[in-house]
Structure 1
Amino acid sequence: MATTIAEVIADQLSRDPEEGAIQFHGKWYSRGWLKAFVDKIDAALAAAGVPEDAPIGFAPHNRPPFAAALVALFSRQRPIVMIYAYQSPEAIANKLRELKLPAVIAGIEQWTDPTLSAARDLGSAAIALSDDGAEVELLESWKAVPGVEQRKADGIPGVALLTSGTTGPPKHFEISYEKLLKRMVIATEFGATERNPLFSFFPLGNISGIYIIVPAIASGQPIIMVDKFNVADWVAFVKQYKPEFLGVPPAAFRMILDADVDYEDIKSLKLLNTGAATLDPALRREFEAKYPICVTQSYGATEFGGIVTITTPDHVKEFGNSKADSVGRACPGVKLRVVDVDTGADLPAGQEGRLLVFAPGMSEDYIETTDLVMLDADGFLYHRGRLDGAIMRGGFKIVPEQVMEALNRHPQVAASAVVGMAEPRLGAVPVALIQPRDMADAPDAASLDAHVRSLLPKTMIPTDYRMVEALPRTPSLKIDMGAAKRMFEAA
């Protein structure tokens, strides 16, 4: 009996080659195609001379070839280092130079002069995937370069995911295949009883995306994949397959309302669960007033190995709508503590403080977060905000200091402040106050935008820039972020 991720995947790939595995833009990709593509990835890595235990950089888009590449790496339990794909070639090249990986798999459009130059300088194998899933092309072979110490596998092989930053600035967080195996509950429990396809919109480089794609393929459950969440594809999926329960991102609720979706098209739904960011209570009430669908929330992070709290249908039956704004109760085995932000002392139910999480299998101790929460007497968790001042743009967490650091590298910028401004669909967006080196020679928005786009993912790009003579500061000369936000609103 198959008991590892690799064994379960190999078993599924050996079955009916004509059966549909992934649908994308209306086209089905069969299990036979999936197996052939997995073999092409294996062949490309072998032809490149990449050592079997070498870490592989992976910059995935939400497309079938990247899902197949992910399966190939999982089936061989190759160490994976995720690279954020949705950024400029220059930013990706900078990341490659930082990581010094023996091999990198990316889309053909991402292999431009800057990225190829970085691969050659580092001796990294460069493997390109075509959009149509037809080709796996080896652009550069692996080699040793004098003076370059390439990254090596560190201990037990696993996946180095980019965190959302819940427990601090975004960083690589490695989860071993052994832990992923336990979290996904494969082997006999992996078998799907519901044969309807899964609707996949989470990024493949995200833990949520992996938790959909890999178990679905390992269980033989078909996948309907989209580039990113959009109302038209989502409604079409619900109309055709009539699911009763689905997960959606927080931004989806405003998008569905704005699209004035006909309830008749989605009436099979009994419950929608959301996570990644707290759902605005007013938006939830507006949605539930229009659609008789129960909305529940969950909470998790890469550092926890996924979701650690959730509101279940049973909770709704017991408590009705009284816990609707909660992100749920602790999942089995999970323990929560709320402590005083300053002293670290445990707080009683009903008081707000910093959240600490014990996630079984992920850490031997509690993991400290930067989330401000309240735990009620019934054990339901309420998310109150971010202690680190992070901006939640839809499901993406933006650390202002990272954007400020990039802006401050512009030659005409003396200092900057980045704050979040409310936005109906995404919850909040970053905006920037700029203190120019010379007010008479201040940079324009286009110059700032191009500069930041060369350094950061597009989700972190400010939506507006305002020039000021001087940024507001505290007596200790730190930038006063509250005053900066008020200044931006008044400008």
Structure 2
Amino acid sequence: MSATASTATSTAPKPDTEAGSATRPLRAVNIAHLLTATARRLPERDAVVRGPERLSWHELDMRASAVAAELRRRGVGRGDAVLVHSPNHVELIAAMFGVWRAGGVFAPANFRLTASEVADLADLTTPTALICHTDYGEHAAAVADAAALPGGTLWIGAEPDIQGAISALPQPDSAEPDEAVWNGDHAWYFFTSGTSGRPKAVVLTHDRLGFVVNNHICDLMPGLGAGDAQIVVAPLSHGAGVHLLPQVARGAKTVLPTSPGLDPAEVWRLVEDERVTNAFTVPTILTTLTQAPEAARHDLSSLRYVIYAGAPMYRADQERAREVLGEVLVQYYGLGEVTGNITVLPPEQHGRPSPDGVEFGTCGYPRTGMQVSIQDTDGRELPPGSQGEICVAGPAVFPGYLRNDEANAESFRDGWFRTGDLGMVDDEGYVYVTGRASDMFISGGSNVYPREIEERLLRHPGVAEVAVVGVPDPKWGEIGVAVCVAAGHAPVNTDELRSWLGDTLARYKIPKRFVWWDEIPKSGYGKVVKRTIKQRLETS
């Protein structure tokens, strides 16, 4: 599939005559084979734990096979999309591998989306079947109105007497075979968070996911094995789902909390009880967990890798997390379009000094097999120390968005994927994300990049959270507004904050307004949603 292709699935494999008549299409490894192989090797070891429920790898394999058999019976085959809507659940994991085993494309929606938003995803992906948690009947009805669903609906978390309940599917005597797939076959429609508009479906193929799994083990969790365990504190529909794959590949146990929302007390208790060694999270969740008093009440010494990504993490929050957890933080920078696979900052590199004039830390060096290029608006590579757009090449880069030729044309230039993020590299190749190109605003003719302002404000003891946005102004074109959350009971005096910033920032960069809210709006993936902040400021 080319970078600008937008077909629903890859075509049937054809011989590559350009490489010689003897060349044949290359088989890819179905991602479901990760479970197949581990269940054979470690059948009785714990695979998934949730409350009192413990599934062995053999039991999880049989549950995935039950889903695969039912999907095949309902007509789901190679390349057919299966839309999935559910919070984290044991049956969600079985469904994930069952979809792949049947040859389908896993298309998981964030369970926090509204019914109409999920219906839009159905319109985009034209799913053959739906797998939905029983608590979201309204969403299932909206999807059924938007798509034909010839394969019908299967239900997660439903009582066995409910028609289509996954819990009632007959357990096979032996595992279902993994459907044959080829390089380029679609495996996952990874929906963007939609913070700048309607979500797009990032196409992730079996072969690219295979590279990412190996790279995660190599660069993020060296030595990951069957003696390890992860705890899931983010939706499996997104980055946490990708993080699950290397756990399955190496036979590491997955622990699912039972609380419907983030409960730091439960998370830290499970880390101690299940001897959790690794976790994937986003900066906002990591900050919440490490600020919770329960972090000091449990034995967290089993942790080896606490991996965070999805948005820049401010230095003040990093330092707090390191104080609480020790040197176990692993940062990576990446987008869904590159399956998170751009840079890595291992534990021993946290605290690395930044070049002169750079106020924030590095997000690490390029991941193994990946290349980063900082480019100007014409696509010319810039030298170290120069700010430009972060562009990426390598096996983790996606082949294109589903049915979106316009977005594909905008996202690739001369074969490079354009992230839309601004950054620079230093002389040793370490990457620094300086901001999102769309976050930049122009005040009085000068470019203002919010992140450097946010970093400084977060060093003030009275500021717990902050987001700086540009809003229209008749005199300056745009002005900066700092939306802050107080660290104490009362907001900090505005003049004090201006003085705090004035010592290190040019005057034109200092926000003209400071407002105080109880919380910063965030997406279902824990990212700050600046579009929502701007809309709220316009109406306030």
TM-score range relative to shorter protein: 0.5 to 0.7
3-state secondary structure, aligned to 2:337: helix
**Cα displacement (A) at 1:241:** 5.1
3-state secondary structure, aligned to 2:341: strand
3-state secondary structure, aligned to 2:267: helix
**Cα displacement (A) at 1:203:** 2.0
Aligned match of 1:199:
231
Aligned mate of 1:239, from 253, 272, 276: 272
Q: Mark the runs of 5 or more structure 1 residues left unpaired by the alignment.
A: 140-152, 393-397, 401-418, 426-455, 467-480
3-state secondary structure, aligned to 2:131: strand
Aligned mate of 1:421, from 477, 483, 497: 483
Aligned match of 2:420:
370
3-state secondary structure, aligned to 1:306: coil
With 160-169 and 106-115 compared, the bigger mean Cα shift is at: 160-169
Whether the 8 Å contact between 2:91 and 2:156 is mirrored in structure 1 is yes
Task: Please give the residue correspondences for 1:78-117 in structure 2 after superposition, counting only pairs within 5 Å.
Answer: 78-112=104-138, 115=141
Distance in 2 (CA, whole Å) between partners of 1:245 and 1:93 is 35
Distance in 1 (CA, whole Å) between partners of 2:189 and 2:303 is 35
Aligned mate of 2:317, from 260, 264, 283: 283
Whether the 8 Å contact between 2:77 and 2:104 is mirrored in structure 1 is no
State the one-letter code of the partner of 1:337. Answer: S
Task: Please give the residue correspondences for 1:365-444 in structure 2 after superposition, counting only pairs within 5 Å.
Answer: 365-389=415-439, 421-423=483-485
Alignment deviations for residues 84-135 of structure 1 (CA, whole Å, 9 cap, x no partner): 3322334323433443322111112223386267259624433232327868
Aligned match of 2:256:
225
Aligned match of 2:242:
211
3-state secondary structure, aligned to 2:383: coil
Aligned match of 1:356:
391
Whether the 8 Å contact between 1:107 and 1:131 is mirrored in structure 2 is yes
**Cα displacement (A) at 1:34:** 1.8
Distance in 2 (CA, whole Å) between partners of 1:288 and 1:53 is 44
**Cα displacement (A) at 1:338:** 1.6
**Cα displacement (A) at 1:375:** 1.5
Aligned match of 2:331:
297
Aligned mate of 1:59, from 63, 66, 85: 85
Whether the 8 Å contact between 2:38 and 2:251 is mirrored in structure 1 is yes
Whether the 8 Å contact between 2:82 and 2:129 is mirrored in structure 1 is yes
Cα distance, 1:343–1:100 mapped onto 2, change above 3 Å: closer
State the one-letter code of the partner of 2:265. Answer: A
Aligned pair 1:346/2:394, yes or no?
no
Cα distance, 1:355–1:464 mapped onto 2, change above 3 Å: closer
3-state secondary structure, aligned to 2:438: coil
3-state secondary structure, aligned to 1:336: strand
Identity within the alignment, %: 18
Distance in 2 (CA, whole Å) between partners of 1:30 and 1:252 is 29
Distance in 1 (CA, whole Å) between partners of 2:437 and 2:229 is 39
Task: Please give the residue correspondences for 1:474-489 in structure 2 after superposition, counting only pairs within 5 Å.
Answer: none
Distance in 1 (CA, whole Å) between partners of 2:393 and 2:73 is 44
Whether the 8 Å contact between 2:370 and 2:396 is mirrored in structure 1 is no
State the one-letter code of the partner of 1:202. Answer: A
Aligned mate of 1:162, from 188, 191, 210: 191
State the one-letter code of the partner of 2:207. Answer: E
So what's the TM-score if we normalise by structure 1?
0.67
Q: Mark the runs of 5 or more structure 2 residues left unpaired by the alignment.
A: 1-27, 166-181, 400-413, 441-449, 452-466, 470-480, 488-522
Alignment deviations for residues 239-288 of structure 1 (CA, whole Å, 9 cap, x no partner): 23556665442123432343233176334556644221111122223444
State the one-letter code of the partner of 2:271. Answer: V
Whether the 8 Å contact between 1:129 and 1:135 is mirrored in structure 2 is no
Whether the 8 Å contact between 1:22 and 1:64 is mirrored in structure 2 is yes
3-state secondary structure, aligned to 1:373: strand
Whether the 8 Å contact between 2:68 and 2:101 is mirrored in structure 1 is no
**Cα displacement (A) at 1:303:** 1.2
Whether the 8 Å contact between 1:375 and 1:382 is mirrored in structure 2 is yes
Distance in 1 (CA, whole Å) between partners of 2:38 and 2:331 is 33
Distance in 1 (CA, whole Å) between partners of 2:282 and 2:344 is 14
So what's the TM-score if we normalise by structure 2?
0.62
Alignment deviations for residues 208-262 of structure 1 (CA, whole Å, 9 cap, x no partner): 3233323323433211123665422332243235566654421234323432331
Distance in 1 (CA, whole Å) between partners of 2:320 and 2:251 is 38
Cα distance, 1:20–1:487 mapped onto 2, change above 3 Å: closer
Whether the 8 Å contact between 1:62 and 1:204 is mirrored in structure 2 is yes
With 251-260 and 61-70 compared, the bigger mean Cα shift is at: 251-260
Cα distance, 1:132–1:217 mapped onto 2, change above 3 Å: farther
Aligned match of 2:403:
none
3-state secondary structure, aligned to 1:374: strand
Cα distance, 1:28–1:102 mapped onto 2, change above 3 Å: same
Paired residues in the alignment total: 403
Distance in 1 (CA, whole Å) between partners of 2:164 and 2:431 is 49
State the one-letter code of the partner of 2:433. Answer: H
Distance in 1 (CA, whole Å) between partners of 2:162 and 2:263 is 29
**Cα displacement (A) at 1:354:** 1.5
Distance in 1 (CA, whole Å) between partners of 2:323 and 2:46 is 38
